[in-house]
Structure 1
Amino acid sequence: MKIRILTVEHIMISITRMENGQNQEKFLSNSYIPHGDEYKINKKIDKWDINYRFSSIYQFEWIVGGSYNQDGIKNVLWIDLIGNFYRQRQVMFKGEYQNNQNGGGSYDKTGIKKGKWIELSNKFQIIYQGMYQNGKKVDKRISILGSLINLKNQLIMMSRELKLDCNQKLAQVFQVFKSIIFSSFQFKLSYISRICVIVRSLLEIKQVNLILLSQ
Protein backbone atom coordinates (compact mmCIF):
# COMPACT_ATOMS: atom_id res chain seq x y z
CA MET A 1 0.00 0.00 0.00
CA LYS A 2 1.31 3.47 -0.90
CA ILE A 3 0.26 6.90 0.31
CA ARG A 4 1.07 9.75 -2.06
CA ILE A 5 0.88 13.40 -1.02
CA LEU A 6 0.05 15.72 -3.94
CA THR A 7 1.20 19.33 -3.67
CA VAL A 8 0.85 22.53 -5.68
CA GLU A 9 3.25 25.37 -4.82
CA HIS A 10 4.12 23.46 -1.65
CA ILE A 11 0.51 23.45 -0.41
CA MET A 12 -1.07 20.07 0.21
CA ILE A 13 -4.23 19.71 -1.84
CA SER A 14 -5.03 16.02 -1.64
CA ILE A 15 -4.20 12.59 -0.34
CA THR A 16 -4.33 9.62 -2.67
CA ARG A 17 -4.37 6.03 -1.48
CA MET A 18 -3.50 3.16 -3.76
CA GLU A 19 -3.45 -0.57 -3.06
CA ASN A 20 -2.45 -3.05 -5.74
CA GLY A 21 -2.84 -0.27 -8.31
CA GLN A 22 -6.58 0.10 -7.63
CA ASN A 23 -9.03 1.77 -5.29
CA GLN A 24 -7.82 5.34 -5.78
CA GLU A 25 -9.46 8.07 -3.70
CA LYS A 26 -8.70 11.79 -3.46
CA PHE A 27 -9.47 14.37 -0.74
CA LEU A 28 -9.08 18.10 -1.38
CA SER A 29 -7.28 20.60 0.84
CA ASN A 30 -9.28 22.08 3.75
CA SER A 31 -11.85 19.28 3.49
CA TYR A 32 -11.74 16.40 5.89
CA ILE A 33 -8.88 13.91 5.92
CA PRO A 34 -10.17 10.35 6.20
CA HIS A 35 -9.12 7.96 8.93
CA GLY A 36 -8.32 4.35 8.18
CA ASP A 37 -11.68 2.87 9.22
CA GLU A 38 -13.27 4.37 6.09
CA TYR A 39 -11.31 1.99 3.87
CA LYS A 40 -13.09 -1.35 3.98
CA ILE A 41 -13.31 -2.30 0.30
CA ASN A 42 -10.37 -4.66 0.72
CA LYS A 43 -8.47 -5.91 3.73
CA LYS A 44 -5.94 -3.38 4.94
CA ILE A 45 -2.36 -4.53 5.44
CA ASP A 46 1.03 -2.90 5.77
CA LYS A 47 1.21 0.65 7.15
CA TRP A 48 -0.99 3.75 6.98
CA ASP A 49 0.53 7.25 7.28
CA ILE A 50 -0.79 10.78 6.74
CA ASN A 51 1.32 13.93 6.58
CA TYR A 52 -0.26 17.32 7.10
CA ARG A 53 0.53 20.97 7.61
CA PHE A 54 -1.66 23.88 8.69
CA SER A 55 -0.53 26.25 5.93
CA SER A 56 2.27 26.84 3.44
CA ILE A 57 4.55 28.47 6.04
CA TYR A 58 4.84 25.22 8.00
CA GLN A 59 6.72 22.03 7.18
CA PHE A 60 4.84 18.80 6.52
CA GLU A 61 4.73 16.53 9.54
CA TRP A 62 3.51 13.04 10.21
CA ILE A 63 0.34 13.17 12.30
CA VAL A 64 -1.46 9.84 11.97
CA GLY A 65 -0.71 6.23 11.35
CA GLY A 66 -0.06 2.69 12.44
CA SER A 67 0.13 -0.81 11.05
CA TYR A 68 -2.30 -3.62 10.27
CA ASN A 69 -1.96 -7.36 10.74
CA GLN A 70 -2.55 -9.89 7.97
CA ASP A 71 -6.30 -9.92 8.74
CA GLY A 72 -6.56 -6.19 8.11
CA ILE A 73 -7.01 -5.37 11.82
CA LYS A 74 -5.12 -2.52 13.43
CA ASN A 75 -2.10 -3.62 15.45
CA VAL A 76 -1.69 -2.32 19.01
CA LEU A 77 -0.47 1.34 19.11
CA TRP A 78 -2.19 3.74 16.71
CA ILE A 79 -2.77 7.46 16.29
CA ASP A 80 -6.13 8.12 14.62
CA LEU A 81 -7.87 11.26 13.36
CA ILE A 82 -11.26 12.39 14.54
CA GLY A 83 -13.96 12.14 11.88
CA ASN A 84 -14.15 15.16 9.55
CA PHE A 85 -10.64 16.29 10.46
CA TYR A 86 -9.65 19.66 8.96
CA ARG A 87 -7.57 22.70 9.91
CA GLN A 88 -10.14 23.99 12.44
CA ARG A 89 -10.93 20.54 13.83
CA GLN A 90 -7.55 19.03 14.64
CA VAL A 91 -8.24 16.25 17.10
CA MET A 92 -6.24 13.03 17.20
CA PHE A 93 -6.54 9.90 19.29
CA LYS A 94 -3.50 7.95 20.48
CA GLY A 95 -3.83 4.54 22.06
CA GLU A 96 -3.78 0.80 21.72
CA TYR A 97 -6.25 -1.39 19.86
CA GLN A 98 -7.77 -4.51 21.37
CA ASN A 99 -10.18 -6.58 19.29
CA ASN A 100 -10.15 -3.76 16.70
CA GLN A 101 -11.54 -1.22 19.22
CA ASN A 102 -10.08 1.88 20.81
CA GLY A 103 -11.22 5.10 22.39
CA GLY A 104 -10.90 7.20 25.52
CA GLY A 105 -11.26 4.27 27.89
CA SER A 106 -11.57 0.50 28.20
CA TYR A 107 -13.97 -2.17 26.97
CA ASP A 108 -14.87 -5.46 28.57
CA LYS A 109 -14.65 -8.75 26.66
CA THR A 110 -18.10 -8.20 25.13
CA GLY A 111 -17.15 -4.77 23.72
CA ILE A 112 -19.08 -2.73 26.35
CA LYS A 113 -17.44 0.39 27.77
CA LYS A 114 -16.25 0.05 31.36
CA GLY A 115 -14.50 2.14 33.98
CA LYS A 116 -13.19 5.65 33.38
CA TRP A 117 -13.83 7.22 29.98
CA ILE A 118 -13.13 10.53 28.23
CA GLU A 119 -15.37 11.35 25.26
CA LEU A 120 -15.86 14.26 22.88
CA SER A 121 -19.15 15.93 22.06
CA ASN A 122 -20.30 16.11 18.44
CA LYS A 123 -18.72 19.56 18.11
CA PHE A 124 -15.62 18.26 19.95
CA GLN A 125 -14.97 21.34 22.11
CA ILE A 126 -16.85 19.84 25.04
CA ILE A 127 -15.22 16.83 26.69
CA TYR A 128 -17.19 14.47 28.89
CA GLN A 129 -15.33 12.60 31.62
CA GLY A 130 -16.98 9.94 33.75
CA MET A 131 -17.46 6.33 34.70
CA TYR A 132 -19.23 3.50 32.91
CA GLN A 133 -20.89 0.54 34.61
CA ASN A 134 -22.60 -2.15 32.53
CA GLY A 135 -22.27 0.08 29.48
CA LYS A 136 -24.08 3.03 31.13
CA LYS A 137 -22.73 6.36 32.38
CA VAL A 138 -22.87 6.60 36.16
CA ASP A 139 -20.86 9.79 36.68
CA LYS A 140 -20.09 12.72 34.39
CA ARG A 141 -17.91 15.80 34.48
CA ILE A 142 -17.64 18.33 31.67
CA SER A 143 -14.48 19.96 30.35
CA ILE A 144 -14.25 22.60 27.67
CA LEU A 145 -11.22 22.74 25.41
CA GLY A 146 -10.66 25.75 23.20
CA SER A 147 -9.16 29.22 22.98
CA LEU A 148 -9.93 32.13 25.27
CA ILE A 149 -11.41 34.05 22.37
CA ASN A 150 -14.24 31.45 22.29
CA LEU A 151 -14.53 31.03 26.03
CA LYS A 152 -17.64 33.16 26.57
CA ASN A 153 -19.78 31.28 24.03
CA GLN A 154 -18.57 27.92 25.30
CA LEU A 155 -19.45 28.77 28.89
CA ILE A 156 -22.91 29.96 27.85
CA MET A 157 -23.44 26.68 26.01
CA MET A 158 -22.24 24.68 29.01
CA SER A 159 -24.40 26.63 31.47
CA ARG A 160 -27.47 26.05 29.29
CA GLU A 161 -26.74 22.35 29.01
CA LEU A 162 -26.21 21.93 32.74
CA LYS A 163 -28.78 24.61 33.68
CA LEU A 164 -26.21 26.15 36.02
CA ASP A 165 -26.47 29.49 37.79
CA CYS A 166 -23.83 31.77 36.29
CA ASN A 167 -22.58 32.59 39.81
CA GLN A 168 -21.87 28.93 40.48
CA LYS A 169 -18.29 27.77 40.60
CA LEU A 170 -17.82 26.69 36.97
CA ALA A 171 -14.20 25.99 36.31
CA GLN A 172 -10.51 25.77 36.92
CA VAL A 173 -8.33 27.05 34.13
CA PHE A 174 -4.95 25.35 33.65
CA GLN A 175 -1.81 26.22 31.72
CA VAL A 176 -2.70 29.60 30.21
CA PHE A 177 0.38 30.52 28.18
CA LYS A 178 1.99 27.54 29.95
CA SER A 179 2.97 29.67 32.90
CA ILE A 180 -0.03 31.49 34.44
CA ILE A 181 -2.50 29.37 36.40
CA PHE A 182 -6.02 30.47 37.32
CA SER A 183 -7.63 28.11 39.80
CA SER A 184 -10.80 27.82 41.93
CA PHE A 185 -12.47 30.99 40.64
CA GLN A 186 -16.01 32.05 41.47
CA PHE A 187 -17.02 34.15 38.49
CA LYS A 188 -19.85 35.35 36.28
CA LEU A 189 -20.02 35.17 32.49
CA SER A 190 -19.56 38.95 32.38
CA TYR A 191 -16.19 38.49 34.11
CA ILE A 192 -15.23 35.87 31.54
CA SER A 193 -16.15 38.33 28.82
CA ARG A 194 -13.74 40.87 30.26
CA ILE A 195 -10.98 38.25 30.36
CA CYS A 196 -11.58 37.57 26.66
CA VAL A 197 -11.24 41.26 25.81
CA ILE A 198 -8.00 41.59 27.77
CA VAL A 199 -6.27 38.68 26.02
CA ARG A 200 -7.77 39.22 22.57
CA SER A 201 -4.72 41.15 21.31
CA LEU A 202 -2.42 38.47 22.65
CA LEU A 203 -4.30 35.80 20.74
CA GLU A 204 -3.18 37.40 17.49
CA ILE A 205 0.34 36.34 18.41
CA LYS A 206 -0.19 33.04 20.15
CA GLN A 207 -3.04 30.56 20.41
CA VAL A 208 -4.12 29.90 23.99
CA ASN A 209 -5.41 26.49 24.94
CA LEU A 210 -7.28 25.89 28.17
CA ILE A 211 -9.30 23.28 29.99
CA LEU A 212 -12.34 24.08 32.10
CA LEU A 213 -13.44 21.53 34.65
CA SER A 214 -16.85 21.75 36.30
CA GLN A 215 -16.68 21.18 40.03
Structure 2
Amino acid sequence: MEENCCIKIKNLSKSYKNQRILKDVSFDVKCGEIFGLLGPSGAGKTTLIRLIMGMEKSNGGEIILLNEKVPNKNVIESIGYTAQADALYTDLSAEENMKFYCRLYKIPKKERKDRIEECLSIVNLNNHKKKIVSNFSGGMKRRLSLAISLIHNPKVLILDEPTVGLDPLLRKQIWRELYRLKDNGVTIVITTHVMDEAAYCDRLALIRNGKCISVGKTQEIIKENECNTLEEVFLKLGDDSYED
Protein backbone atom coordinates (compact mmCIF):
# COMPACT_ATOMS: atom_id res chain seq x y z
CA MET A 1 0.00 0.00 0.00
CA GLU A 2 1.20 3.51 -0.82
CA GLU A 3 2.97 5.52 1.88
CA ASN A 4 0.58 7.63 3.99
CA CYS A 5 -2.40 5.57 2.78
CA CYS A 6 -4.61 4.38 5.66
CA ILE A 7 -7.45 2.85 3.66
CA LYS A 8 -7.36 1.68 0.06
CA ILE A 9 -10.54 0.64 -1.71
CA LYS A 10 -10.25 -0.85 -5.18
CA ASN A 11 -13.09 -1.85 -7.53
CA LEU A 12 -15.43 -2.64 -4.64
CA SER A 13 -18.84 -4.08 -5.52
CA LYS A 14 -21.72 -5.34 -3.42
CA SER A 15 -25.08 -6.87 -4.32
CA TYR A 16 -27.96 -8.27 -2.27
CA LYS A 17 -29.64 -11.00 -4.32
CA ASN A 18 -30.25 -9.24 -7.66
CA GLN A 19 -29.99 -5.71 -6.28
CA ARG A 20 -26.74 -3.86 -6.95
CA ILE A 21 -25.75 -1.63 -4.00
CA LEU A 22 -22.17 -0.67 -4.91
CA LYS A 23 -20.42 -0.86 -8.27
CA ASP A 24 -16.64 -0.64 -8.83
CA VAL A 25 -16.00 1.90 -6.04
CA SER A 26 -12.35 2.99 -5.73
CA PHE A 27 -10.61 5.62 -3.57
CA ASP A 28 -7.83 6.04 -1.01
CA VAL A 29 -8.00 7.60 2.46
CA LYS A 30 -4.79 9.22 3.67
CA CYS A 31 -3.52 8.77 7.22
CA GLY A 32 -4.53 11.62 9.50
CA GLU A 33 -7.21 13.17 7.31
CA ILE A 34 -10.95 13.65 7.61
CA PHE A 35 -12.46 11.91 4.62
CA GLY A 36 -16.12 12.37 3.81
CA LEU A 37 -18.49 10.01 2.04
CA LEU A 38 -21.09 12.40 0.68
CA GLY A 39 -24.31 11.36 -0.98
CA PRO A 40 -28.08 11.24 -0.63
CA SER A 41 -29.84 8.73 1.57
CA GLY A 42 -29.85 5.33 -0.14
CA ALA A 43 -26.68 6.01 -2.14
CA GLY A 44 -24.82 3.07 -0.58
CA LYS A 45 -22.74 4.92 2.03
CA THR A 46 -23.71 2.74 5.00
CA THR A 47 -23.09 -0.44 3.01
CA LEU A 48 -19.66 0.90 2.11
CA ILE A 49 -18.93 1.61 5.78
CA ARG A 50 -20.00 -1.90 6.80
CA LEU A 51 -17.65 -3.36 4.19
CA ILE A 52 -14.74 -1.23 5.44
CA MET A 53 -15.48 -2.42 8.97
CA GLY A 54 -15.46 -6.04 7.83
CA MET A 55 -19.06 -6.49 8.96
CA GLU A 56 -20.00 -7.73 5.49
CA LYS A 57 -18.15 -9.30 2.57
CA SER A 58 -18.03 -7.73 -0.86
CA ASN A 59 -18.90 -9.44 -4.13
CA GLY A 60 -15.78 -8.07 -5.76
CA GLY A 61 -12.79 -5.80 -5.25
CA GLU A 62 -10.67 -5.35 -2.13
CA ILE A 63 -10.21 -3.20 0.96
CA ILE A 64 -6.84 -2.65 2.64
CA LEU A 65 -6.99 -0.97 6.08
CA LEU A 66 -3.83 -0.28 8.10
CA ASN A 67 -1.93 -2.59 5.73
CA GLU A 68 -4.31 -5.48 6.39
CA LYS A 69 -6.83 -6.92 3.97
CA VAL A 70 -10.39 -6.59 5.27
CA PRO A 71 -12.15 -8.46 6.81
CA ASN A 72 -9.43 -9.03 9.39
CA LYS A 73 -9.81 -9.32 13.16
CA ASN A 74 -6.32 -7.88 13.65
CA VAL A 75 -7.50 -4.34 12.84
CA ILE A 76 -10.85 -4.30 14.67
CA GLU A 77 -9.40 -2.94 17.92
CA SER A 78 -7.77 -0.09 15.98
CA ILE A 79 -11.16 1.15 14.76
CA GLY A 80 -13.72 3.31 16.51
CA TYR A 81 -17.21 3.06 15.01
CA THR A 82 -20.48 4.91 15.39
CA ALA A 83 -23.38 3.41 13.44
CA GLN A 84 -26.58 5.18 12.48
CA ALA A 85 -28.44 3.06 15.04
CA ASP A 86 -27.19 3.60 18.58
CA ALA A 87 -25.83 0.40 20.18
CA LEU A 88 -26.61 1.35 23.76
CA TYR A 89 -27.95 -0.43 26.83
CA THR A 90 -30.89 1.83 27.62
CA ASP A 91 -31.52 0.37 31.08
CA LEU A 92 -28.00 1.40 32.17
CA SER A 93 -26.57 4.84 32.85
CA ALA A 94 -24.22 6.58 30.45
CA GLU A 95 -21.32 5.84 32.77
CA GLU A 96 -22.28 2.15 33.03
CA ASN A 97 -22.41 1.92 29.24
CA MET A 98 -18.93 3.43 29.06
CA LYS A 99 -17.60 1.01 31.69
CA PHE A 100 -18.99 -1.92 29.72
CA TYR A 101 -17.13 -0.85 26.59
CA CYS A 102 -13.97 -0.22 28.59
CA ARG A 103 -14.06 -3.88 29.64
CA LEU A 104 -14.88 -4.95 26.09
CA TYR A 105 -11.82 -3.12 24.76
CA LYS A 106 -9.69 -4.37 27.69
CA ILE A 107 -8.77 -0.90 28.89
CA PRO A 108 -6.76 -1.20 32.15
CA LYS A 109 -8.84 -0.50 35.28
CA LYS A 110 -6.57 2.34 36.39
CA GLU A 111 -7.19 4.20 33.11
CA ARG A 112 -10.96 3.72 32.83
CA LYS A 113 -12.17 6.60 34.98
CA ASP A 114 -10.01 9.17 33.18
CA ARG A 115 -10.92 7.80 29.74
CA ILE A 116 -14.63 7.91 30.55
CA GLU A 117 -14.40 11.48 31.86
CA GLU A 118 -12.37 12.60 28.84
CA CYS A 119 -14.70 11.05 26.27
CA LEU A 120 -17.89 12.23 27.95
CA SER A 121 -16.40 15.72 28.10
CA ILE A 122 -15.83 15.70 24.34
CA VAL A 123 -19.57 15.29 23.76
CA ASN A 124 -20.63 17.45 26.73
CA LEU A 125 -22.27 14.65 28.72
CA ASN A 126 -20.29 14.72 31.99
CA ASN A 127 -23.23 16.16 33.89
CA HIS A 128 -25.47 13.35 32.65
CA LYS A 129 -23.24 10.34 33.25
CA LYS A 130 -25.45 8.96 36.05
CA LYS A 131 -28.66 9.32 34.03
CA ILE A 132 -30.32 6.19 32.65
CA VAL A 133 -29.97 6.17 28.87
CA SER A 134 -33.67 5.46 28.29
CA ASN A 135 -34.24 9.02 29.55
CA PHE A 136 -31.84 10.50 27.00
CA SER A 137 -33.00 12.45 23.98
CA GLY A 138 -32.07 11.18 20.54
CA GLY A 139 -29.27 13.74 20.29
CA MET A 140 -27.84 12.70 23.66
CA LYS A 141 -27.80 9.06 22.55
CA ARG A 142 -25.88 10.04 19.40
CA ARG A 143 -23.34 11.91 21.53
CA LEU A 144 -22.93 8.94 23.90
CA SER A 145 -22.38 6.63 20.93
CA LEU A 146 -19.63 8.94 19.70
CA ALA A 147 -18.01 8.99 23.15
CA ILE A 148 -18.02 5.18 23.20
CA SER A 149 -16.34 5.01 19.78
CA LEU A 150 -13.45 7.06 21.22
CA ILE A 151 -12.98 5.13 24.46
CA HIS A 152 -10.06 2.97 23.25
CA ASN A 153 -8.08 5.71 21.44
CA PRO A 154 -8.66 4.28 17.94
CA LYS A 155 -6.29 4.90 15.05
CA VAL A 156 -9.22 5.05 12.65
CA LEU A 157 -12.61 6.56 13.49
CA ILE A 158 -15.55 5.63 11.26
CA LEU A 159 -18.71 7.65 11.78
CA ASP A 160 -22.00 7.00 9.98
CA GLU A 161 -24.12 10.17 10.01
CA PRO A 162 -22.86 11.15 13.49
CA THR A 163 -24.39 14.64 13.61
CA VAL A 164 -27.96 13.69 12.70
CA GLY A 165 -30.33 15.10 15.30
CA LEU A 166 -27.78 17.47 16.86
CA ASP A 167 -28.35 21.20 17.18
CA PRO A 168 -25.99 23.51 15.23
CA LEU A 169 -23.99 24.54 18.31
CA LEU A 170 -23.29 20.97 19.38
CA ARG A 171 -22.55 19.93 15.82
CA LYS A 172 -19.91 22.66 15.70
CA GLN A 173 -18.44 21.40 18.98
CA ILE A 174 -18.28 17.82 17.64
CA TRP A 175 -16.46 18.98 14.53
CA ARG A 176 -14.00 20.94 16.67
CA GLU A 177 -13.19 17.74 18.55
CA LEU A 178 -12.87 15.79 15.29
CA TYR A 179 -10.24 18.32 14.18
CA ARG A 180 -8.43 17.84 17.48
CA LEU A 181 -8.42 14.07 16.96
CA LYS A 182 -7.13 14.58 13.43
CA ASP A 183 -4.31 16.76 14.77
CA ASN A 184 -3.40 13.86 17.07
CA GLY A 185 -3.05 11.54 14.07
CA VAL A 186 -6.47 9.87 14.00
CA THR A 187 -7.85 9.07 10.54
CA ILE A 188 -11.56 9.87 10.31
CA VAL A 189 -14.09 8.61 7.77
CA ILE A 190 -17.49 10.23 8.05
CA THR A 191 -20.67 9.77 6.04
CA THR A 192 -23.15 12.58 5.51
CA HIS A 193 -25.90 13.65 3.16
CA VAL A 194 -25.62 17.28 4.29
CA MET A 195 -23.76 19.31 1.68
CA ASP A 196 -22.69 21.98 4.19
CA GLU A 197 -20.72 19.42 6.20
CA ALA A 198 -18.60 18.58 3.17
CA ALA A 199 -16.63 21.79 3.68
CA TYR A 200 -15.36 20.42 7.02
CA CYS A 201 -13.72 17.41 5.36
CA ASP A 202 -10.20 17.42 3.90
CA ARG A 203 -11.35 15.33 0.94
CA LEU A 204 -14.54 13.72 -0.28
CA ALA A 205 -15.84 10.79 -2.25
CA LEU A 206 -19.17 11.63 -3.86
CA ILE A 207 -21.42 8.56 -3.83
CA ARG A 208 -24.55 8.34 -5.97
CA ASN A 209 -26.54 5.24 -6.90
CA GLY A 210 -23.78 3.00 -5.61
CA LYS A 211 -21.04 4.60 -7.67
CA CYS A 212 -18.17 6.89 -6.71
CA ILE A 213 -18.65 9.76 -9.14
CA SER A 214 -15.81 12.01 -7.94
CA VAL A 215 -13.00 12.13 -5.35
CA GLY A 216 -10.98 15.12 -4.11
CA LYS A 217 -11.12 18.37 -2.18
CA THR A 218 -14.45 20.18 -2.27
CA GLN A 219 -13.31 23.18 -4.28
CA GLU A 220 -11.24 21.02 -6.63
CA ILE A 221 -14.25 18.81 -7.38
CA ILE A 222 -16.41 21.88 -8.06
CA LYS A 223 -13.77 23.51 -10.27
CA GLU A 224 -12.87 20.37 -12.25
CA ASN A 225 -16.52 19.84 -13.14
CA GLU A 226 -17.09 23.51 -14.01
CA CYS A 227 -19.83 23.86 -11.42
CA ASN A 228 -20.61 26.34 -8.66
CA THR A 229 -21.73 23.92 -5.93
CA LEU A 230 -21.54 20.25 -4.99
CA GLU A 231 -25.25 19.97 -5.72
CA GLU A 232 -24.51 20.94 -9.31
CA VAL A 233 -21.75 18.31 -9.47
CA PHE A 234 -24.20 15.61 -8.38
CA LEU A 235 -26.67 16.70 -11.04
CA LYS A 236 -23.99 16.82 -13.72
CA LEU A 237 -22.29 13.52 -12.93
CA GLY A 238 -25.19 11.53 -11.52
CA ASP A 239 -25.99 8.26 -13.25
CA ASP A 240 -29.56 7.11 -12.77
CA SER A 241 -29.17 3.94 -14.82
CA TYR A 242 -30.07 1.96 -11.70
CA GLU A 243 -31.15 2.67 -8.15
CA ASP A 244 -29.70 1.00 -5.04
TM-score, normalised with respect to structure 1:
0.30
TM-score, normalised with respect to structure 2:
0.27
Structure richer in strand, relative to its length: 1
Q: Which has the higher contact order (CA 8 A, sep 6+)?
A: 2
Structure richer in helix, relative to its length: 2
